[in-house]
Amino acid sequence: MMEWTEEKIIEYINQGWTLSYDKTNQKYKLQKRINGRVKSYTLPKRFNEFCKRLKEEFKYLPIFEDIEKEYSITKVMERHNLDEIEIYDVLWKYVEWKLNKREGLKELLYDILCKFKAIEEIEDRLNKASRMVRTGFGFAELSFQCPNCLENSKLRYDKSMGKWVCSNCGEIPF
């Protein structure tokens, strides 16, 4: 009888063995086709939780690699056919994966903080640009198609809101 450890299971997987769940015995198995025959090892039940995490990790590994390559979220979604709801789940799993690995945490945190700072700067510049456009449109009384009511209108300043609004629907178009 072989003595199994987490390291030994990972070693087998790295050698091309497949991890699958045996519903009948409620245990995981390592399987590999050798010389036309399937060789199989049933793992002790105490490794079920570890194997479940490992199997999920291998499922997401290609996505995590793309995130590590700093692909944009949109590109990751396209490459792996993910929708907006799924990407949030994947990002959560990525953070859990990084935390479980206990490596690269300092770099991950630094990267998040740098990107957050950059986003704050971009947001500030967009707010200034948006203010310039709104006041320019409003004071010049230029016509535009409101994205809310889809009517041609002009901007007017609503003193009660302290905002520029559509002259037709009264909504903020920016």
Structure tokens at 39: 């060789």
Q: Is the pLDDT of residue 124 over 80?
A: yes
Give the integer Cα–Cα distance in Å for 12 and 10.
5
Count of Cβ atoms closer than 10 Å to residue 77 Cβ: 17
Q: Which residues contact 18 (CB under 8 A, 6 or more apart)?
A: 30, 31, 32
Structure tokens at 22: 């045996």
Q: How many residues does the chain have?
A: 174
Indicate the helix (H) or strand (E) that contains 145.
strand 143-145
Give the integer Cα–Cα distance in Å for 128 and 112.
24
pTM above 0.85, yes or no: no
List pLDDT tens digits, range 132-167. 887 887 788 888 899 999 999 988 888 898 888 999
Torsion of CA 157, 160, 161, 163, to 10 degrees: 20
Band of residue 14 on the pLDDT scale cut at 50, 70, 90: confident
- Residue 122 — φ and ψ, nearest 5°? -65, -45
Q: What is the pLDDT of residue 63?
A: 92
What average pLDDT is seen over the chain? 87
